[in-house]
Structure 1
Amino acid sequence: MTIKNLVSSVALTTLLAAPALAEVDFSGKTIEWVIPFSETGGSAKWANFFAPLLAEELPGNPTVVVKFMPGAGSTKGANWFQEQEHEDGTLLFGTSGSTQFPYLLGDPRVRYEYSDWTPVMASGTGGVAYLNPEDGAKFDGTANNLKDIDFIYGSQGATRLDLVPLLAWEMLGMNVEPVFGIKGRGDGRLMFERGEATIDYQTSSSYLGAAADLVAQGKAVPMMTWGALDADGNIVRDPTFPEMPTFKEVCEATEGCETSGEAWDAWKAFFVAGFPVQKIAFLPAGTPDEVRDTYAAAFDAVRNRADFAEIASKRVGKYDVFVGESARAATDAGTSVSSGAKDFVTNWLKEAYGVSLN
């Protein structure tokens, strides 16, 4: 499915008729929404934003509790969820691009299969890269003055969503040394705050929730966003941060960085897989249609609230929310890349970081 068709399908989601939905009632129940990251990152902020809104719309108004299961860059939690089966509709699981990328790359630690799960909501996001004040003063819209600086970056792992910024910085000719092993992007931000890292990036929800304060205090300088996609699949400015240049713009202005060729095609392919459909809410295997459609209807009601656009822009950003069949189509788009892009990234990971996925 093309991005244009995927975006159009948001308004065309088919939901189950009301009589069937009325059969599902969560009165007096507690729904556990498991997030396979730490409580400090963007996925935590995303789930904590949607959880109370979902509780208001599900029949019976259950309590929705967000729980965290960090480890192995989210593969620990995803492998656990793969073993879960439907019981009563009270288990929800949330993934991000850092869960999708190991799956796309054939990471041997992956024991989960997205096609087994039941997506009920998916949403896009963006990302912002930023610098410490000293190095940020040298940023002029290009990376030309940053190439002789040795940067330190707190990373979840090169096969996670971090490959998007790591490859982008390399394409710009920057020297960025990742310190692997953090449990979530929020932990990377804490490293930056403590001065243990000198460059960082956060997804939009985490940037809005914490990193933007660092900028306001003069403790960080925004560098660029990864951008967003228009209806024709072109990279344009992120609607949540329209004042910031995109990586594409910075690359075009930087000596030696190209927005065509194998590296660019691979970067864009993984950006598309990791950000326009970045966070997905799943029910476990075996979930009955009526439970699936009840959740889809609830998330549909959430995104159609009169105040949703306003509150979402402040907490998670201005991005599409997909439900029902649109969520399934979005999941398919976010869990597939071309063989050429996969081969390029696989070779790059081995050469740059000694990561072998064979």
Structure 2
Amino acid sequence: MRFGILSAGLCAAAVAALGVTDHAKAQGSVENFYKGRNVDLIVGYNPGGGYDAYTRLLGRHMGRYIPGKPNLVAKNMPGAGSLKSANYLFNIAPKDGSVYGMFAGGIAMDALIGGKKTNFDPRKFNWLGSMTESSSACWAWHTSGFTSFDDVMKKEMLVGATSGGSSTAAWPRSMNYFLGSKFKVITGYRGSAGITLAVEREEVQGICGYFLSSIRSRKPQWLKDKKVIMLIQEAKVRHPDYPNVPTVFELAKDDKTRQAFNLVFGWQVMGRPFTLPPGVPADRVAAMRKAFWDTMGDKKFLADGKKIRVTIRPRTWKQVNAYLEEAWKTPKSVIKTVFVALGRDKAMKRKKKKKK
């Protein structure tokens, strides 16, 4: 009997030892891969904007938590509201863990909504997590004459945007379609920095799809000197600092509109999401996810973030995946209304005419 118990104990110990050995080997393998290596950290926007600030902040700190402590190199890859970087990460970037990056969560929704050259399935990315849950709004310049969303329901307001697929363009157009607002979107500006400069020059009267975290980090004087007025919050719930400004979800007339808004605005739960390409070895994905999350609690990282005035409210990779799975259950009829609201039906017709 004792021999049996002893044998069972030895077997258990042997299995445990093998488990520890396998874990050590995996850690060693990941460390050997990353040691002395440069890892590219792609951001789908121009320098100077909010996405760029978050990416470079992460790049200054996350390397300490990756086995082998590689050197992280931030690289800008702007184009089509970050669609270019998303397609690159999914289809072209090496699938060995040496490249990861961030693009707008709304671009992930384009793969569901359609009408864009989204050559990827966002559910197949190896998401690491998000540095924050975003909270966005429409802002009016103080001399524009717009002081509330009711004003935009009555008269035309010029808002600047980058590309047609960016939140700065897609969101005001969605509000026009579903709520009857009168935003006139002027595209072609170079990143959020280009739009904010146009606002200051009064080329346009405001900006939509501009995150509160971005305005606090890039344009703090706007808030301090009351240069801008928040008209409406593009979020599910009111931000605690703006309890008297309504959200788009509050103005939704029915459940279908709220479902549509979940596709257009709801992805902000993804905030500033970072991902590895699909096909990266599982041990490297696990190591990078752990490194990302450990960085989110790092004191030096948090102090650096506070210094540059960015909000850190991290979300796990599981939360990102959960939102995507929920979005993909949206009825096709609702997805079609969003497609039309964003003007993609008209864009497709124009493309067909050009081909003829």
Matching of residue 167 in structure 1 with residue 174 in structure 2: yes
Matching of residue 72 in structure 1 with residue 72 in structure 2: no
> CA contact under 8 A between 2:89 and 2:276: conserved in structure 1?
no
CA shift, 1:71, in A, is: 1.4
Distance 2:257 2:67 in 1: 48
Task: Give CA-to-partner distance per residue, 1:126-180, whole Å, 9 cap, x none.
Answer: 11221011245x52xx533444432111223444334233323555543211112
TM alignment of 1:120-269, pairs within 5 A = 120-122=128-130, 123-135=132-144, 138-139=146-147, 142-161=148-167, 162-168=169-175, 171-201=178-208, 202-227=210-235, 235-238=236-239, 241-243=241-243, 245-248=245-248, 258-269=252-263
Distance 1:113 1:333 in 2: 14
Query: Which residue type is aligned with residue 297 of structure 1?
Result: K
Matching of residue 347 in structure 1 with residue 347 in structure 2: no
TM alignment of 1:2-41, pairs within 5 A = 20-25=26-31, 26-41=34-49
Cα distance change, pair 170–315 in 1 and its aligned pair in 2 (3 A): farther
Distance 1:244 1:53 in 2: 37
Hey, which of these two has a bigger chunk of helix by percent? 2
> CA contact under 8 A between 2:43 and 2:102: conserved in structure 1?
yes
CA shift, 1:293, in A, is: 0.9
CA shift, 1:317, in A, is: 2.1
Task: Give CA-to-partner distance per residue, 1:235-275, whole Å, 9 cap, x none.
Answer: 32235x45562424xx86xxxx5442543431233211x21
Larger CA deviation: 290-299 vs 209-218: 209-218
> CA contact under 8 A between 1:49 and 1:315: conserved in structure 2?
no
Distance 2:155 2:219 in 1: 22
> CA contact under 8 A between 1:151 and 1:175: conserved in structure 2?
yes
**SS at the partner of 1:295?**
helix
Distance 2:174 2:295 in 1: 36
Cα distance change, pair 22–326 in 1 and its aligned pair in 2 (3 A): farther
Give the match for residue 62 of structure 1: 70
Matching of residue 295 in structure 1 with residue 296 in structure 2: no
Give the match for residue 6 of structure 1: none
Cα distance change, pair 310–127 in 1 and its aligned pair in 2 (3 A): farther
Distance 1:115 1:146 in 2: 36
Distance 2:69 2:201 in 1: 41
CA shift, 1:75, in A, is: 2.1
Query: Which residue type is aligned with residue 107 of structure 1?
Result: G
Matching of residue 319 in structure 1 with residue 313 in structure 2: yes
Distance 2:216 2:96 in 1: 35
CA shift, 1:76, in A, is: 2.1
Matching of residue 93 in structure 1 with residue 101 in structure 2: yes
Give the match for residue 273 of structure 2: 280
Distance 1:116 1:265 in 2: 23
Cα distance change, pair 79–178 in 1 and its aligned pair in 2 (3 A): same
CA shift, 1:87, in A, is: 5.7
Q: Which runs of 5+ in 1 are unaligned?
A: 1-15, 228-234
**SS at the partner of 1:195?**
coil
Query: Which residue type is aligned with residue 348 of structure 2?
Result: S
Give the match for residue 12 of structure 1: none
Distance 1:315 1:157 in 2: 26
Give the match for residue 7 of structure 1: none
**SS at the partner of 1:46?**
helix
Distance 2:93 2:44 in 1: 17
Distance 2:176 2:143 in 1: 18
> CA contact under 8 A between 2:79 and 2:85: conserved in structure 1?
yes
TM alignment of 1:331-342, pairs within 5 A = 331-333=324-326, 337-342=330-335
Distance 2:109 2:321 in 1: 18
**SS at the partner of 2:219?**
helix
Aligned length: 323
**SS at the partner of 1:103?**
helix
> CA contact under 8 A between 1:45 and 1:205: conserved in structure 2?
no
Task: Give CA-to-partner distance per residue, 1:48-101, whole Å, 9 cap, x none.
Answer: 222212122112322212111111222222222233354652211212124223
Q: Of residues 42, 55, 60 in structure 2, which corresponds to 1:52?
A: 60
Q: What is the percent sequence identity of the aligned residues?
A: 18
CA shift, 1:336, in A, is: 6.3
Cα distance change, pair 35–355 in 1 and its aligned pair in 2 (3 A): same
Larger CA deviation: 263-272 vs 187-196: 263-272
CA shift, 1:225, in A, is: 2.4
Larger CA deviation: 81-90 vs 123-132: 81-90
> CA contact under 8 A between 1:303 and 1:321: conserved in structure 2?
no
Distance 2:264 2:218 in 1: 25
Q: Which runs of 5+ in 2 are unaligned?
A: 1-21
